[in-house]
Amino acid sequence: MSLRVLVVDDTVVFRRIVSDALAGLPGVEVVGTASNGKLALARMEALRPDLVTLDIEMPEMNGIEVLEAMGRSRLKAGVVVLSSLTTRGGEMTVRALELGAFDFITKPDRGTAAENLACLRESLQPMLRAFERRRDIRAMLGREGSASPPVEVPAPHLALHGPEPPVLRRAFAGPPLVLIGVSTGGPTALAAVLPALPRDLNAAVLIVQHMPAMFTKPLAASLGRRSALRVTEAQEGETARANCVYLAPGGSQMKVAAGSRGEVVLRITDDPPENGCKPAVDYLFRSVALQFPGRSVAAILTGMGNDGTAGLRLLKRGRCRSIAQDEASCVVFGMPREAIAAGVIDTVAPLDRIAAAIVRSVREGCA
């Protein structure tokens, strides 16, 4: 069965580029287009698409207003937001994700039309496959019903291969570290986890969310309004403090280094992408494993790909405790699935129990 898509954009050029990009993908049918938000809602009612590509900045009725109207009318189509790489675009995109958009793409604005088309197609293909998989899983879960509420269960354990290298133990003057890696579906997942963490967690929380520059600062501000902990976009050279949350800046890498007294110092670098990501979860996890082994709990939440698994292998050498979000509550069960399959996860839990698992690990002591 083909994936039925409605394309919404206020410019003829982008409606054509997005339509052509989608038309070149197998199993995808463009069922219509719309030039503004009001027309988009009418077309959704008439055409019942599975997915809508939605321009976020439109006159008359913008993408945020469309998503709010969809919520009121209970239109069930998934939404992929197309955003500009600007501060306003970032703020609106974060709001769209909070309103339930599946994911977002920044509009390509450089190069020829053919290059922009290829860029869009490359971005859309894995996203649409992930959306289809989520739709199929939710349909299956709906058919099976839910006889009992989801419970936290131990992950299957697989032995780490090879001899364990010696672990460097250094003087540690900072708080324990909570490490979170997340991608597609991340803003919604973080908005569930962070407000559930207590103000006296007594750990520093370091987060890598796959996002470009100018998107993570509004995300940090939004999360900070909901959380008892202080949430900021991380700054180069600052010291990680207990009961504070540091979000890796979009388009940069974040790692940790030991200060002169053993404190945790955040380093923001322009090092290359890893796993196609910048910031990358593996980049942060690896630095913690090397600099502060045995002082962290790590959580892998919803997202495409396998970023975080290699870093968790190193963290587990230092006896890091690890948590993965379960398949039923993930927007995309890619990153958690890969970590579970690699045997580097101690506990698998639904989203609404991730915070409790983190708090318990911190309270019991990070090795």
Catalytic machinery residues: 183, 210, 307
Angle at 340 between CA 169 and CA 191, to 5 degrees: 85
Bridge partner residues of 231 (DSSP):
245
d(CA 78, CA 29): 15
> Please, are residues 17 and 120 in contact by the beta-carbon 8 Å criterion?
yes
Q: Which residues are CB-contacts of 246 (< 8 A; sequence separation ≥ 6)?
A: 204, 205, 206, 207, 232, 233, 234, 238, 240, 254, 266
| Selection from 247, 199, 258 nearest residue 219 by Cα | 247
> Please, are residues 286 and 310 in contact by the beta-carbon 8 Å criterion?
yes
Q: Which residues are CB-contacts of 207 (< 8 A; sequence separation ≥ 6)?
A: 179, 180, 181, 182, 190, 245, 246, 247, 248
Structure tokens at 305: 């790909």
Structure letter (DSSP) for residue 32: E
Angle at 317 between CA 311 and CA 319, to 5 degrees: 105
> Please, are residues 361 and 321 in contact by the beta-carbon 8 Å criterion?
yes
d(CA 231, CA 167): 31
Structure letter (DSSP) for residue 102: -
> Please, are residues 248 and 277 in contact by the beta-carbon 8 Å criterion?
no
| Selection from 159, 101, 148, 161 nearest residue 127 by Cα | 101
The distance of Cα 83 from the centroid of its chain, to the nearest Å, equals: 17
